[in-house]
Copies of this chain bind each other. A is one copy, B any other.
Amino acid sequence: MADTTTPAHTASGALDLGELHGSLTDPVLDAMNFLNEVVARFPEAISFAPGRPSEGTFEPEDLARHLRSYSDHLEQERGWSRDQVRTQLFQYGRTNGVIHDLIARTLANDEDIHVSPESVVVTTGCQEAMLLSLRALFARPEDTLLVSSPCYVGVTGAARLLDIAVRPVTEGAAGPDPDAILAAVREIRAEGGRPRALYVVPDFANPSGASMTVAARERLLEIAAQEDLLVLEDDPYGFFVREGSARPTLKALDRERRVLHLGSFSKTALPGARVGYVVADQEVVGPTGERTLLADQLSKIKSMTTVNTSAISQAVIGGLLVESGYRLREANAAAIDYYRGNLNALLAELERHFPAERRQELGVEWNRPDGGFFLVVRVPFVADTKALECSARAYGVLWTPMGDFYLDGGGDRQLRLSCSSLSMDEITEGIGRLAAFITDQAAEAAG
Protein backbone atom coordinates (compact mmCIF):
# COMPACT_ATOMS: atom_id res chain seq x y z
CA MET A 1 0.00 0.00 0.00
CA ALA A 2 1.43 3.36 -1.01
CA ASP A 3 1.04 5.66 1.93
CA THR A 4 4.36 7.44 1.91
CA THR A 5 3.75 11.13 1.58
CA THR A 6 6.02 13.32 -0.50
CA PRO A 7 8.91 14.10 1.87
CA ALA A 8 10.28 17.62 2.14
CA HIS A 9 7.74 20.36 2.31
CA THR A 10 8.85 23.90 2.97
CA ALA A 11 6.81 26.16 5.20
CA SER A 12 6.47 28.61 2.33
CA GLY A 13 4.81 25.88 0.28
CA ALA A 14 1.84 25.54 2.67
CA LEU A 15 -1.35 27.32 1.70
CA ASP A 16 -2.97 29.90 3.92
CA LEU A 17 -6.60 28.98 4.67
CA GLY A 18 -7.46 32.69 4.70
CA GLU A 19 -6.37 32.96 1.06
CA LEU A 20 -8.69 30.18 -0.07
CA HIS A 21 -12.34 30.73 -0.99
CA GLY A 22 -14.48 32.19 1.79
CA SER A 23 -16.83 29.19 1.82
CA LEU A 24 -14.03 27.18 3.46
CA THR A 25 -14.15 29.30 6.59
CA ASP A 26 -17.90 29.69 6.63
CA PRO A 27 -19.19 28.89 10.14
CA VAL A 28 -21.98 26.63 8.81
CA LEU A 29 -19.57 24.43 6.84
CA ASP A 30 -17.24 24.29 9.81
CA ALA A 31 -20.12 23.41 12.13
CA MET A 32 -21.23 20.56 9.87
CA ASN A 33 -17.68 19.25 9.79
CA PHE A 34 -17.40 19.37 13.54
CA LEU A 35 -20.76 17.66 13.84
CA ASN A 36 -19.66 14.82 11.57
CA GLU A 37 -16.53 14.49 13.66
CA VAL A 38 -18.47 14.18 16.91
CA VAL A 39 -20.77 11.57 15.34
CA ALA A 40 -17.75 9.64 14.02
CA ARG A 41 -16.06 9.66 17.44
CA PHE A 42 -18.95 7.86 19.12
CA PRO A 43 -19.83 5.00 16.78
CA GLU A 44 -21.44 3.02 19.61
CA ALA A 45 -23.91 5.76 20.55
CA ILE A 46 -27.53 5.50 19.38
CA SER A 47 -27.76 8.17 16.75
CA PHE A 48 -30.77 10.34 16.03
CA ALA A 49 -28.41 12.58 14.03
CA PRO A 50 -28.17 11.52 10.38
CA GLY A 51 -31.07 11.76 7.96
CA ARG A 52 -29.94 8.63 6.14
CA PRO A 53 -32.64 6.35 4.79
CA SER A 54 -33.30 2.82 5.93
CA GLU A 55 -31.52 0.13 3.90
CA GLY A 56 -34.73 -1.90 3.92
CA THR A 57 -34.38 -5.10 1.93
CA PHE A 58 -31.55 -3.82 -0.28
CA GLU A 59 -28.96 -6.43 -1.30
CA PRO A 60 -25.85 -5.80 -3.42
CA GLU A 61 -27.15 -8.27 -6.03
CA ASP A 62 -30.11 -5.94 -6.64
CA LEU A 63 -27.76 -3.62 -8.55
CA ALA A 64 -27.10 -6.22 -11.24
CA ARG A 65 -30.84 -6.88 -11.53
CA HIS A 66 -31.66 -3.19 -11.92
CA LEU A 67 -28.95 -2.87 -14.59
CA ARG A 68 -30.47 -5.82 -16.43
CA SER A 69 -34.00 -4.40 -16.13
CA TYR A 70 -32.79 -1.20 -17.72
CA SER A 71 -30.93 -2.97 -20.54
CA ASP A 72 -33.98 -5.16 -21.19
CA HIS A 73 -36.15 -2.06 -21.29
CA LEU A 74 -33.90 -0.49 -23.93
CA GLU A 75 -33.75 -3.65 -26.02
CA GLN A 76 -37.35 -4.82 -25.68
CA GLU A 77 -39.43 -1.67 -25.25
CA ARG A 78 -37.34 0.61 -27.45
CA GLY A 79 -35.91 -1.93 -29.83
CA TRP A 80 -32.31 -0.91 -29.27
CA SER A 81 -29.52 -3.14 -30.51
CA ARG A 82 -27.08 -4.66 -28.06
CA ASP A 83 -24.41 -2.30 -29.44
CA GLN A 84 -26.56 0.71 -28.64
CA VAL A 85 -27.10 -0.53 -25.08
CA ARG A 86 -23.37 -1.13 -24.68
CA THR A 87 -22.58 2.38 -25.88
CA GLN A 88 -25.19 3.88 -23.56
CA LEU A 89 -23.66 2.17 -20.51
CA PHE A 90 -20.03 2.71 -21.51
CA GLN A 91 -19.74 6.14 -23.12
CA TYR A 92 -20.14 9.79 -22.35
CA GLY A 93 -23.83 10.52 -22.69
CA ARG A 94 -26.45 13.21 -23.07
CA THR A 95 -25.63 16.03 -20.64
CA ASN A 96 -29.16 16.23 -19.21
CA GLY A 97 -29.33 12.48 -18.74
CA VAL A 98 -30.82 9.41 -20.37
CA ILE A 99 -33.58 8.43 -17.91
CA HIS A 100 -35.32 11.84 -18.12
CA ASP A 101 -38.28 10.26 -19.90
CA LEU A 102 -38.64 7.52 -17.26
CA ILE A 103 -38.56 10.20 -14.56
CA ALA A 104 -41.20 12.30 -16.34
CA ARG A 105 -43.41 9.22 -16.63
CA THR A 106 -42.98 8.42 -12.92
CA LEU A 107 -43.70 12.03 -11.89
CA ALA A 108 -46.94 11.94 -13.84
CA ASN A 109 -48.06 8.77 -12.04
CA ASP A 110 -46.80 9.63 -8.57
CA GLU A 111 -47.22 13.39 -8.32
CA ASP A 112 -49.63 14.39 -11.07
CA ILE A 113 -46.79 16.53 -12.42
CA HIS A 114 -47.06 16.56 -16.22
CA VAL A 115 -43.98 17.88 -17.97
CA SER A 116 -42.11 17.08 -21.15
CA PRO A 117 -39.10 14.78 -20.65
CA GLU A 118 -36.94 17.57 -22.12
CA SER A 119 -37.65 19.73 -19.08
CA VAL A 120 -36.13 17.11 -16.73
CA VAL A 121 -32.40 17.44 -16.00
CA VAL A 122 -30.91 14.30 -14.41
CA THR A 123 -28.26 15.32 -11.87
CA THR A 124 -25.60 13.82 -9.61
CA GLY A 125 -27.92 13.84 -6.63
CA CYS A 126 -30.28 16.64 -5.71
CA GLN A 127 -27.28 18.66 -4.49
CA GLU A 128 -26.10 19.18 -8.08
CA ALA A 129 -29.66 20.13 -9.05
CA MET A 130 -29.48 22.94 -6.49
CA LEU A 131 -26.07 24.04 -7.68
CA LEU A 132 -27.12 24.18 -11.36
CA SER A 133 -30.36 26.01 -10.57
CA LEU A 134 -28.64 28.59 -8.40
CA ARG A 135 -25.84 29.13 -10.92
CA ALA A 136 -28.28 29.70 -13.78
CA LEU A 137 -30.64 32.04 -11.94
CA PHE A 138 -28.23 34.21 -9.98
CA ALA A 139 -26.34 36.64 -12.17
CA ARG A 140 -25.73 39.84 -10.22
CA PRO A 141 -24.51 40.66 -6.71
CA GLU A 142 -27.94 42.05 -5.77
CA ASP A 143 -29.74 38.82 -6.74
CA THR A 144 -30.98 37.35 -3.48
CA LEU A 145 -32.05 33.84 -2.52
CA LEU A 146 -34.76 33.60 0.09
CA VAL A 147 -34.80 30.53 2.29
CA SER A 148 -37.30 29.39 4.84
CA SER A 149 -35.41 29.31 8.14
CA PRO A 150 -34.35 26.96 9.73
CA CYS A 151 -32.99 25.71 6.44
CA TYR A 152 -31.29 22.64 4.99
CA VAL A 153 -27.56 23.43 4.79
CA GLY A 154 -27.19 21.92 1.31
CA VAL A 155 -28.80 24.92 -0.32
CA THR A 156 -27.20 27.63 1.80
CA GLY A 157 -23.82 25.91 1.29
CA ALA A 158 -24.26 25.82 -2.49
CA ALA A 159 -25.21 29.51 -2.42
CA ARG A 160 -22.06 30.22 -0.39
CA LEU A 161 -19.89 28.47 -3.02
CA LEU A 162 -21.32 30.82 -5.63
CA ASP A 163 -21.17 33.91 -3.40
CA ILE A 164 -24.95 34.34 -3.61
CA ALA A 165 -26.71 36.57 -1.07
CA VAL A 166 -29.15 34.63 1.12
CA ARG A 167 -32.07 36.02 3.15
CA PRO A 168 -33.62 33.76 5.80
CA VAL A 169 -37.37 34.03 6.44
CA THR A 170 -38.51 32.58 9.74
CA GLU A 171 -40.77 29.57 9.40
CA GLY A 172 -44.01 29.22 11.36
CA ALA A 173 -45.41 26.11 13.04
CA ALA A 174 -47.04 25.18 9.71
CA GLY A 175 -43.80 25.63 7.78
CA PRO A 176 -42.87 28.42 5.41
CA ASP A 177 -45.18 31.39 5.85
CA PRO A 178 -46.24 33.03 2.55
CA ASP A 179 -46.93 36.40 4.12
CA ALA A 180 -43.57 36.54 5.87
CA ILE A 181 -42.02 35.67 2.51
CA LEU A 182 -43.93 38.48 0.81
CA ALA A 183 -42.75 40.92 3.46
CA ALA A 184 -39.13 39.78 2.98
CA VAL A 185 -39.41 40.16 -0.80
CA ARG A 186 -40.53 43.76 -0.35
CA GLU A 187 -37.81 44.47 2.18
CA ILE A 188 -35.11 43.12 -0.13
CA ARG A 189 -36.44 45.24 -2.96
CA ALA A 190 -36.53 48.33 -0.74
CA GLU A 191 -32.87 47.72 0.10
CA GLY A 192 -31.94 47.59 -3.61
CA GLY A 193 -31.72 43.82 -3.84
CA ARG A 194 -33.44 41.62 -6.38
CA PRO A 195 -35.43 38.75 -4.85
CA ARG A 196 -34.78 36.04 -7.41
CA ALA A 197 -35.92 32.75 -5.94
CA LEU A 198 -37.17 31.09 -2.77
CA TYR A 199 -35.95 27.66 -1.63
CA VAL A 200 -38.63 25.70 0.15
CA VAL A 201 -39.34 22.13 1.34
CA PRO A 202 -43.16 22.00 1.49
CA ASP A 203 -43.43 18.50 3.00
CA PHE A 204 -41.87 17.39 6.31
CA ALA A 205 -38.94 19.76 5.98
CA ASN A 206 -35.39 19.04 6.99
CA PRO A 207 -34.72 20.10 9.75
CA SER A 208 -38.05 21.20 11.21
CA GLY A 209 -40.42 18.47 10.03
CA ALA A 210 -43.01 21.19 9.28
CA SER A 211 -45.35 21.08 6.26
CA MET A 212 -47.31 23.69 4.35
CA THR A 213 -51.08 23.50 4.08
CA VAL A 214 -52.55 23.36 0.60
CA ALA A 215 -53.89 26.89 1.09
CA ALA A 216 -50.39 28.13 1.98
CA ARG A 217 -49.01 26.46 -1.15
CA GLU A 218 -51.57 28.21 -3.31
CA ARG A 219 -50.93 31.52 -1.62
CA LEU A 220 -47.18 31.12 -2.12
CA LEU A 221 -47.68 30.53 -5.85
CA GLU A 222 -49.83 33.66 -6.07
CA ILE A 223 -47.11 35.66 -4.38
CA ALA A 224 -44.46 34.17 -6.65
CA ALA A 225 -46.41 35.22 -9.75
CA GLN A 226 -47.18 38.67 -8.41
CA GLU A 227 -43.64 39.36 -7.21
CA ASP A 228 -41.82 37.72 -10.16
CA LEU A 229 -40.20 35.19 -7.85
CA LEU A 230 -39.16 31.65 -8.76
CA VAL A 231 -39.64 28.82 -6.29
CA LEU A 232 -37.06 26.05 -5.84
CA GLU A 233 -39.18 23.26 -4.43
CA ASP A 234 -37.28 20.42 -2.81
CA ASP A 235 -39.41 17.42 -1.94
CA PRO A 236 -37.34 14.43 -0.82
CA TYR A 237 -39.70 13.29 1.94
CA GLY A 238 -43.13 13.82 0.36
CA PHE A 239 -43.95 10.09 0.10
CA PHE A 240 -43.44 9.49 3.79
CA VAL A 241 -46.80 10.49 5.25
CA ARG A 242 -47.50 9.63 8.89
CA GLU A 243 -50.89 11.27 9.41
CA GLY A 244 -53.46 12.47 6.92
CA SER A 245 -52.83 12.13 3.21
CA ALA A 246 -50.17 13.36 0.82
CA ARG A 247 -50.59 16.95 -0.33
CA PRO A 248 -50.00 18.17 -3.87
CA THR A 249 -46.49 19.47 -4.50
CA LEU A 250 -46.07 23.10 -5.48
CA LYS A 251 -45.14 21.91 -8.96
CA ALA A 252 -48.42 20.02 -9.29
CA LEU A 253 -50.24 23.27 -8.44
CA ASP A 254 -47.98 25.46 -10.61
CA ARG A 255 -49.91 26.98 -13.50
CA GLU A 256 -47.40 29.64 -14.47
CA ARG A 257 -44.16 27.68 -14.42
CA ARG A 258 -42.91 29.51 -11.36
CA VAL A 259 -41.62 26.33 -9.73
CA LEU A 260 -38.36 24.45 -10.32
CA HIS A 261 -39.05 21.03 -8.82
CA LEU A 262 -35.94 19.43 -7.30
CA GLY A 263 -36.03 15.68 -6.82
CA SER A 264 -33.95 13.01 -5.18
CA PHE A 265 -33.87 9.22 -5.42
CA SER A 266 -31.80 9.01 -2.25
CA LYS A 267 -34.76 8.48 0.05
CA THR A 268 -37.09 6.64 -2.33
CA ALA A 269 -34.52 4.38 -4.03
CA LEU A 270 -30.88 4.45 -2.85
CA PRO A 271 -28.45 7.23 -1.94
CA GLY A 272 -25.48 5.23 -3.26
CA ALA A 273 -26.55 5.93 -6.85
CA ARG A 274 -26.34 9.71 -6.41
CA VAL A 275 -29.15 10.41 -8.85
CA GLY A 276 -31.47 13.37 -8.55
CA TYR A 277 -33.15 15.72 -10.98
CA VAL A 278 -34.65 19.11 -11.50
CA VAL A 279 -37.77 19.87 -13.53
CA ALA A 280 -37.07 23.21 -15.22
CA ASP A 281 -39.86 23.75 -17.73
CA GLN A 282 -39.62 27.54 -17.69
CA GLU A 283 -39.23 29.22 -21.06
CA VAL A 284 -36.13 31.32 -21.64
CA VAL A 285 -36.15 34.01 -24.31
CA GLY A 286 -32.85 34.94 -25.97
CA PRO A 287 -31.81 38.31 -27.41
CA THR A 288 -33.26 37.57 -30.84
CA GLY A 289 -36.45 36.07 -29.47
CA GLU A 290 -35.36 32.40 -29.66
CA ARG A 291 -37.00 30.23 -27.05
CA THR A 292 -35.41 27.43 -25.08
CA LEU A 293 -36.31 25.63 -21.88
CA LEU A 294 -34.51 26.54 -18.67
CA ALA A 295 -33.50 22.83 -18.69
CA ASP A 296 -31.50 23.53 -21.88
CA GLN A 297 -29.67 26.34 -20.11
CA LEU A 298 -28.97 24.12 -17.08
CA SER A 299 -27.41 21.65 -19.50
CA LYS A 300 -24.73 24.19 -20.43
CA ILE A 301 -23.85 24.56 -16.76
CA LYS A 302 -23.94 20.83 -16.09
CA SER A 303 -21.43 20.26 -18.88
CA MET A 304 -19.02 22.32 -16.75
CA THR A 305 -19.80 20.71 -13.37
CA THR A 306 -19.99 16.94 -14.04
CA VAL A 307 -20.41 16.58 -17.86
CA ASN A 308 -23.23 14.09 -17.36
CA THR A 309 -24.61 11.91 -14.58
CA SER A 310 -23.06 8.43 -14.31
CA ALA A 311 -24.67 6.22 -16.96
CA ILE A 312 -24.32 3.27 -14.57
CA SER A 313 -26.11 5.07 -11.75
CA GLN A 314 -28.82 6.20 -14.15
CA ALA A 315 -29.22 2.63 -15.39
CA VAL A 316 -29.63 1.37 -11.80
CA ILE A 317 -32.31 3.98 -11.05
CA GLY A 318 -33.83 3.53 -14.50
CA GLY A 319 -34.11 -0.21 -13.93
CA LEU A 320 -35.72 0.38 -10.57
CA LEU A 321 -38.28 2.72 -12.16
CA VAL A 322 -39.02 0.19 -14.89
CA GLU A 323 -39.47 -2.56 -12.27
CA SER A 324 -41.87 -0.32 -10.33
CA GLY A 325 -44.03 0.23 -13.40
CA TYR A 326 -43.10 3.93 -13.11
CA ARG A 327 -44.91 4.07 -9.78
CA LEU A 328 -42.27 4.73 -7.18
CA ARG A 329 -44.77 5.68 -4.51
CA GLU A 330 -46.31 2.19 -4.68
CA ALA A 331 -42.85 0.64 -4.69
CA ASN A 332 -42.20 2.56 -1.46
CA ALA A 333 -45.25 1.17 0.35
CA ALA A 334 -43.13 -0.81 2.83
CA ALA A 335 -40.74 2.10 3.37
CA ILE A 336 -43.68 4.46 3.97
CA ASP A 337 -45.03 2.06 6.63
CA TYR A 338 -41.59 1.73 8.17
CA TYR A 339 -41.00 5.49 8.52
CA ARG A 340 -44.55 5.99 9.80
CA GLY A 341 -43.96 3.33 12.43
CA ASN A 342 -40.65 4.87 13.46
CA LEU A 343 -41.98 8.39 13.75
CA ASN A 344 -44.98 7.15 15.73
CA ALA A 345 -42.64 5.23 18.04
CA LEU A 346 -40.43 8.26 18.49
CA LEU A 347 -43.44 10.41 19.40
CA ALA A 348 -44.80 7.74 21.75
CA GLU A 349 -41.47 7.36 23.55
CA LEU A 350 -41.12 11.11 23.98
CA GLU A 351 -44.66 11.21 25.37
CA ARG A 352 -43.92 8.32 27.72
CA HIS A 353 -40.84 10.00 29.20
CA PHE A 354 -42.27 13.50 29.19
CA PRO A 355 -46.03 13.42 29.83
CA ALA A 356 -47.79 16.81 29.64
CA GLU A 357 -47.22 17.86 33.21
CA ARG A 358 -43.63 16.74 33.28
CA ARG A 359 -42.70 18.59 30.11
CA GLN A 360 -44.36 21.76 31.27
CA GLU A 361 -42.43 21.56 34.50
CA LEU A 362 -39.12 21.01 32.69
CA GLY A 363 -39.78 23.39 29.79
CA VAL A 364 -39.53 20.65 27.15
CA GLU A 365 -41.65 20.61 23.98
CA TRP A 366 -41.61 19.04 20.53
CA ASN A 367 -43.56 19.22 17.31
CA ARG A 368 -45.55 16.35 15.80
CA PRO A 369 -44.81 16.29 12.06
CA ASP A 370 -47.32 14.63 9.76
CA GLY A 371 -44.50 12.64 8.17
CA GLY A 372 -40.89 12.55 7.10
CA PHE A 373 -37.74 11.74 9.04
CA PHE A 374 -37.41 14.64 11.51
CA LEU A 375 -38.85 16.40 14.51
CA VAL A 376 -37.55 19.17 16.73
CA VAL A 377 -37.35 19.14 20.54
CA ARG A 378 -37.17 22.45 22.46
CA VAL A 379 -35.13 22.16 25.63
CA PRO A 380 -34.44 24.59 28.51
CA PHE A 381 -30.65 24.63 27.92
CA VAL A 382 -28.20 25.40 25.13
CA ALA A 383 -28.10 22.40 22.79
CA ASP A 384 -24.84 23.04 20.97
CA THR A 385 -21.96 20.80 19.89
CA LYS A 386 -20.57 20.93 23.44
CA ALA A 387 -23.86 19.61 24.82
CA LEU A 388 -23.88 17.04 22.02
CA GLU A 389 -20.46 15.82 23.03
CA CYS A 390 -21.62 15.41 26.64
CA SER A 391 -24.76 13.61 25.42
CA ALA A 392 -22.64 11.22 23.35
CA ARG A 393 -19.99 10.55 25.98
CA ALA A 394 -22.07 10.30 29.14
CA TYR A 395 -25.45 9.13 27.80
CA GLY A 396 -24.57 7.30 24.55
CA VAL A 397 -27.05 9.22 22.41
CA LEU A 398 -26.53 11.55 19.43
CA TRP A 399 -28.75 14.22 17.89
CA THR A 400 -28.26 17.35 15.77
CA PRO A 401 -28.03 20.86 17.25
CA MET A 402 -30.58 23.08 15.47
CA GLY A 403 -28.45 26.23 15.67
CA ASP A 404 -26.51 25.18 12.57
CA PHE A 405 -29.67 25.42 10.47
CA TYR A 406 -30.35 29.05 11.35
CA LEU A 407 -28.44 31.67 9.34
CA ASP A 408 -29.56 34.52 11.56
CA GLY A 409 -29.03 33.00 14.99
CA GLY A 410 -31.71 31.20 16.93
CA GLY A 411 -32.39 27.54 17.46
CA ASP A 412 -29.77 27.26 20.18
CA ARG A 413 -32.20 25.54 22.56
CA GLN A 414 -33.51 23.07 20.00
CA LEU A 415 -32.34 19.73 18.82
CA ARG A 416 -33.30 17.73 15.75
CA LEU A 417 -34.14 14.06 16.03
CA SER A 418 -34.14 11.77 13.02
CA CYS A 419 -35.58 8.27 13.26
CA SER A 420 -35.12 7.14 9.66
CA SER A 421 -32.48 4.48 10.15
CA LEU A 422 -33.14 3.09 13.62
CA SER A 423 -34.89 -0.05 14.79
CA MET A 424 -37.81 0.14 17.24
CA ASP A 425 -35.53 -1.14 20.01
CA GLU A 426 -32.98 1.56 19.26
CA ILE A 427 -35.69 4.21 19.35
CA THR A 428 -36.96 2.96 22.72
CA GLU A 429 -33.50 2.69 24.23
CA GLY A 430 -32.27 5.92 22.59
CA ILE A 431 -35.17 8.07 23.78
CA GLY A 432 -34.64 6.66 27.27
CA ARG A 433 -31.04 7.86 27.16
CA LEU A 434 -32.06 11.18 25.65
CA ALA A 435 -34.67 11.70 28.37
CA ALA A 436 -32.02 11.16 31.05
CA PHE A 437 -29.71 13.62 29.31
CA ILE A 438 -32.43 16.26 28.91
CA THR A 439 -33.64 15.83 32.48
CA ASP A 440 -30.13 16.20 33.90
CA GLN A 441 -29.28 19.19 31.71
CA ALA A 442 -32.59 20.88 32.53
CA ALA A 443 -31.94 20.39 36.24
CA GLU A 444 -28.45 21.83 35.86
CA ALA A 445 -29.75 24.82 33.87
CA ALA A 446 -32.47 25.43 36.47
CA GLY A 447 -30.09 25.00 39.39
Contact among B91, B114, B271 with A91 in the assembled complex (CB-CB below 8 Å): B271
Whether A301 sits at the interface, judged by CB under 8 Å, is yes
Interface residues of A in 106-132 (CB under 8 A from B): 107-109, 114-117, 119, 124-125, 127-128, 131
Which residue on chain B has the smallest CB distance to residue A285?
B14
Whether A446 sits at the interface, judged by CB under 8 Å, is no
Q: Is the CB of A255 within 8 A of B8?
A: yes
A112 CB to closest chain B CB (Å) equals 10
Q: Is the CB of B304 within 8 A of A154?
A: yes
User: Which residues in B have their C-beta under 8 angstroms from that of A300?
Assistant: 23-24, 29, 33
User: Which residues in B have their C-beta under 8 angstroms from that of A313?
Assistant: 274, 310, 312-313
Give complex CA distance A368, B203 in Å: 60
Give complex CA distance A119, B6 in Å: 11
Which residue on chain B has the smallest CB distance to residue A21?
B139
* Chain A 345-374 interface mask (CB, 8 Å, partner B; 1/0): 000000000000000000000000000000
Stretch at the interface among A54-62, A174-182, A380-388, A410-418: A54-62
A320 CB to closest chain B CB (Å) equals 12
* Chain A 44-87 interface mask (CB, 8 Å, partner B; 1/0): 00000010110100111001100100010000000000000111
Contacts A2-B115, A24-B136; A127 near B307 (Cβ below 8 A): yes
Interface residues of A in 140-166 (CB under 8 A from B): 154, 157-158, 160-162
User: Which residues in B have their C-beta under 8 angstroms from that of A257?
Assistant: 6, 9, 13
* Chain A 89-114 interface mask (CB, 8 Å, partner B; 1/0): 11111000000010011011100001
User: Which residues in B have their C-beta under 8 angstroms from that of A60?
Assistant: 67, 71, 85-86, 89
* Chain A 1-25 interface mask (CB, 8 Å, partner B; 1/0): 1111111111011111111111110
Q: Is the CB of A131 within 8 A of B8?
A: no
A198 CB to closest chain B CB (Å) equals 16
Q: In the complex, which of the residues A20, A29, A303, A312 has the most CB atoms of chain B within 10 Å of its own CB atom? A: A312
Stretch at the interface among A183-191, A238-246, A286-294, A427-435: A286-294
> Can you list 29 A-B contacts with CB-CB less than 8 angstroms, sorted by A residue number?
A1-B105, A5-B281, A6-B255, A10-B256, A13-B258, A14-B282, A16-B284, A20-B136, A20-B139, A21-B136, A24-B301, A32-B303, A55-B90, A58-B86, A60-B71, A60-B86, A63-B312, A91-B272, A93-B272, A124-B310, A127-B303, A128-B305, A128-B306, A131-B305, A157-B303, A158-B304, A160-B304, A161-B304, A273-B310
5 A-B pairs with least C-beta separation: A2-B108, A272-B311, A157-B304, A64-B64, A14-B283
Name A's B-contacting residues (CB within 8 A). 1-10, 12-24, 29, 32-33, 50, 52-53, 55, 58-60, 63-64, 67, 71, 85-93, 101, 104-105, 107-109, 114-117, 119, 124-125, 127-128, 131, 135-139, 154, 157-158, 160-162, 225, 228, 254-258, 266, 270-275, 281-287, 291-292, 294, 297, 300-301, 303-313, 316
